[in-house]
Amino acid sequence: MAVVGIEITDRALRAVRFEHFRRGRLPDQSVEVPATLPAGKPVGLAGGQVPVGALKELLQQVNVAGAQVAVAIPSAWCFFRSVAFPYRSAARAESTVRYALEGRLPGSVENYVIEPLSDLQAAGAKGSRMLVAACPRATVKSMLDGLGEAGVDPCIIQPAVAAVARAARDAGVNDDTALMRVDGDAEIVFRKKGDLVAALVVLLKGLDLKDGANQRRINARISFAVRSYQVSDGAADRDRVLVMAPGAGAIEGAAPWASLRTTASPTDATPIPGGTVTRNDLDSRWVAAIGAASAVRKAHAAPNLRRDDLAYAPHARRLERRLAAALALAVGIMALFSVATARRLMAVNEEIAGIRARRTALMKEVGLTHGEPTVKAMESALAQARKDATQADEGRTYSCLARWIELMRLVPAEITLDVIDINQKRIAVTARTANKPKLWELQRSAQASKVFMPDPSVVVRGTERGISTFTMELRFR
* Mean pLDDT to the nearest integer, 198-221: 71
12-42 pLDDT per residue, tens: 899 999 888 877 677 888 888 888 776 545 4
- Reply yes or no on whether the pLDDT at 257 is more than 60: no
- Reply yes or no on whether the pLDDT at 393 is more than 50: no
Residue 70 pLDDT: 92
* Mean pLDDT to the nearest integer, 74-92: 87
Residue 315 pLDDT: 59
156-199 pLDDT per residue, tens: 999 998 998 888 888 888 777 778 887 777 788 887 777 777 78
| β-bridge mates for residue 133, sequence order | 80, 115
Residue 212 pLDDT: 63
- Reply yes or no on whether the pLDDT at 391 is more than 70: no
Q: Are 176 and 211 in contact (CB under 8 A)?
A: no
359-390 pLDDT per residue, tens: 777 666 655 555 555 666 666 766 666 565 45
Q: Tell me how far apart the alpha carbons of residues 136 and 40 are, in angstroms, rounded to a whole number.
A: 15
Residue 284 pLDDT: 78
* CA angle, 157 then 159 then 163, to 5°: 90
- Reply yes or no on whether the pLDDT at 137 is more than 70: yes
* Mean pLDDT to the nearest integer, 455-461: 87
298-311 pLDDT per residue, tens: 777 788 888 878 88
Residue 395 pLDDT: 44
Percent of the chain past pLDDT 90, that is, above it, reads 5
Q: For the ranges 26-30, 281-285, 348-352, 418-422, which has the lowest average pLDDT?
A: 281-285
- Reply yes or no on whether the pLDDT at 9 is more than 70: yes
Residue 280 pLDDT: 41
Q: Tell me how far apart the alpha carbons of residues 22 and 27 are, in angstroms, rounded to a whole number.
A: 10
Alpha carbon 237 to its chain's center? 29
- Reply yes or no on whether the pLDDT at 249 is more than 50: no
Average pLDDT along the chain: 76
Q: Which residue has the higher pLDDT, 109 or 219?
A: 109
Q: Tell me how far apart the alpha carbons of residues 472 and 179 are, in angstroms, rounded to a whole number.
A: 89
Q: Tell me how far apart the alpha carbons of residues 378 and 369 are, in angstroms, rounded to a whole number.
A: 14
- Reply yes or no on whether the pLDDT at 76 is more than 60: yes
Residue 411: name the closest of 384, 382, 449 by CA: 449
CA atoms within 13 Å, Cβ hemisphere of 241? 26
What's the pTM? Answer: 0.60
For the ranges 70-84, 221-235, 243-257, the maximum mean pLDDT occurs at 70-84
Residue 374 pLDDT: 63
399-449 pLDDT per residue, tens: 566 777 788 888 898 998 888 888 778 888 899 999 988 888 988 888 888
Q: Are 121 and 93 in contact (CB under 8 A)?
A: no
Alpha carbon 464 to its chain's center? 52
* CA angle, 95 then 98 then 99, to 5°: 95
Q: Tell me how far apart the alpha carbons of residues 267 and 284 are, in angstroms, rounded to a whole number.
A: 8
Task: Note every long-range contact of 210-219, with CB atoms under 8 Å and residues 24 or more positions apart, other chains counting.
Answer: 210/246, 210/247, 210/250, 212/250, 215/250, 215/251, 215/254, 218/182, 218/186, 218/250, 218/251, 218/254, 219/251, 219/254, 219/255
Q: Tell me how far apart the alpha carbons of residues 35 and 10 are, in angstroms, rounded to a whole number.
A: 7
- Reply yes or no on whether the pLDDT at 214 is more than 80: no
Residue 256 pLDDT: 40
Q: Tell me how far apart the alpha carbons of residues 9 and 34 are, in angstroms, rounded to a whole number.
A: 9
